[in-house]
């Protein structure tokens, strides 16, 4: 069972930065065997991938965040991060850390989710 706990959300003005954290249970096993990603869901909209591992094993970023958001990890702290710079009002959403089993043909469906952390960007 994969457990994910996000934190770091908050309210910020446009142009500001936030860093989201995701503490991962059984970190080494999970990171080796699961694809890790960040998703977000704005009110009235479907959940969308912010950064995910694609079928070819490469990390991809949604076009809307490319060059502004960056995935990183700290193995010593069992933690994944999403650094968000140059934030825009349209980045306002609940942000989720997620995991998908890393099968022989790539990442399966992302089906392990944290509780989410709210990000609100004001203009």
**From first to last of its 123 residues, what are the pLDDT tens digits of the chain?**
899 999 999 999 999 999 999 999 998 888 889 999 999 999 999 999 999 998 788 999 999 999 999 999 999 999 999 999 999 999 999 999 999 999 888 899 999 999 999 999 999
| Confidence (pLDDT) at 44 | 94
The reported pLDDT for the residue numbered 30 is: 87
β strands within the chain, DSSP E = 4-7, 10-13, 18-24, 34-41, 48-53, 59-61, 69-74, 79-84, 93-103, 106-113, 117-122
């Amino acid at each position: 069972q994969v457990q994910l706990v996000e934190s770091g959300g908050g309210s910020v003005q446009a142009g500001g930065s936030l860093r989201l954290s995701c503490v991962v249970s059984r970190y080494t096993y999970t990171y080796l065997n699961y694809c890790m990603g960040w998703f977000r869901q704005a009110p009235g909209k479907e959940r969308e991938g912010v950064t995910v591992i694609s079928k070819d094993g490469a990390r991809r970023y949604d076009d809307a965040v490319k060059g502004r958001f960056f995935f990183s990890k700290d193995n010593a702290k069992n933690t994944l991060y999403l650094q968000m710079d140059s934030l825009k009002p349209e980045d306002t959403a609940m942000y989720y850390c997620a995991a998908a089993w890393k099968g022989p043909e790539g990442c399966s469906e992302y089906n392990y989710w944290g509780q989410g952390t709210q990000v609100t960007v004001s203009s």
